[in-house]
Amino acid sequence: MGITLGINACVYMPRKSTEQRLRATIARNAPAPGDTPRMRRKKATDRYDARTELSTGQVPRHNDLFSYLTLLGLPVVIVLNEIYLLEDGGLPCTESLHSIGQWAP
């Protein structure tokens, strides 16, 4: 989970668009009479993002629900791991204190 959060939050960088492409995006996403509510929301978001990038020069980033769930899940996993290790008396008897999972001697 931590690796996915790191990739999503730190590494992902949306590319900037040219002014011509942003203006075309705004024009293409104009409301149409036959649009469904979902299409209207998507077009409004795309228009807002294009206008924001045109005015500020920065690409808007949308946070995923997955990022928030990862942040909430990390402490839960750590606590459950500690409870599991403390409940059974620490590391299993067949593992040495310096072994690292299945790859160490």
- DSSP character for 58? S
pLDDT for 38-93, tens place per residue?
Answer: 999 999 999 998 999 888 888 777 666 776 777 788 888 888 877 777 776 655 56
Q: Which of 53, 42, 47 is nearest to 25 (CA)?
A: 47
pTM of the model: 0.48
